[in-house]
Amino acid sequence: MRVVLSRKGFDSETGGIPSPILPYGRLLSLPIPREGEDRSYSDLRFSDNQTYADVLCDLRAKVAGQDRCHVDPDIYRQVLSRPRGWRPLSGHRGNAQSELAGRGIKVGDLLLFFGWFREVRMSPSGRLAYVRGAPDLHVVFGYLQIDKVIPVSSATALPHWMTSHPHASKPYRQRGNNTIYVSRSRASWDDSLPGARPLAFSERGVLTKRGLSRSRWDLPWCFRELEMTRVKYDPVRDCFQSSPIGQEFVIEEDPRVERWAKRIIQAGS
């Protein structure tokens, strides 16, 4: 099983603020704004009486509730009404998809989704606010084990439950090199786990090395022996420097990497 770290959600250029680590450990990855998409932040349910638009307002984001957003990876079941047969999905196109295809990512492999996060608190007025001085972190917020790899073009027939995904829409179908990854119903190594889900915050899921900037990661020693795209070991700081450019970080297949990934999933489940 190959493991891929897939960068998703707000970043410093797209969205402009970190996604929140909520007081009770929930990791809420904020989907990036993108014109022309079918969904807005007001369409996404954060709780029974709140939407993502409310969260963005509390956190003083530059994007507004009516702005359109790219809901991908689509692993948060409760944010939208789901048709019968729905499964979590992840879409990739362009250079990101070329990276995955070129590295031979296939059925059975594992996507670990990570992004930029910072701790938030609930103010006395009931609004969310970032904790002053809390570090900016790269955190794993979800996973998807691949059951199907579907190249999607204008001629591709998709089941009804999949057609609401952004990468199933007409603009993506027409752009080429566009693929949807469908999750397994249950994880292959533990049938008590779903094949994809969001994760809660855990220290195991934090990639950033304590006290350093978020792009400097604290990975197991074995990673020094393995090939990993867009990441280099820095012996001076004893950390792994990740590239600010690129979405997919593909790790060489190794049982030690599998165990590391499974421990992150178990800790956040």
> How far, CA to CA in Å, does 208 sit from each of 28, 29, 76, 239?
18, 17, 24, 9
Look at residue 263 and tell me whether its pLDDT is greater than 90: yes
CA dist., res. 17 & res. 166, Å (int): 22
- Residue-wise pLDDT for 147-174, tens only, equals 999 999 999 999 999 999 999 999 999 9
Residue 5 CA to residue 205 CA, distance in Å, equals 12
Total domain count for the chain? Answer: 1
Which pLDDT score is estimated for 126?
A: 87
pLDDT in tens, 50-85: 999 999 999 999 999 999 999 999 999 999 999 999
| Tokens of residue 215, six digits | 């792009």
pLDDT digits (tens, 9 = 90+) for 72-128: 999 999 999 999 999 999 999 999 999 999 999 999 999 999 999 999 999 888 899
Contact 140, 199 (CB under 8 A): yes
Q: How far, in Å, are 134, 152, 233, 256 from residue 228 at the CA level? A: 29, 27, 10, 14
Owning domain of residue 257: 3-268
Q: Is the pLDDT of residue 143 over 90?
A: yes
In this prediction, residue 125 carries a pLDDT of 87
Residues 7-60: tens digit of each pLDDT: 999 999 999 999 999 999 999 999 999 999 999 999 999 999 999 999 999 999
Q: Is the dihedral of CA 95, 98, 104, 110 positive or negative?
A: positive
Q: How many CB atoms are closer than 10 A to CB 225?
A: 10
β-pairing, 3-7 with 239-242?
A: unpaired
**Per-residue pLDDT tens digits for 177-229:** 999 999 999 999 999 999 999 999 999 999 999 999 999 999 999 999 999 99
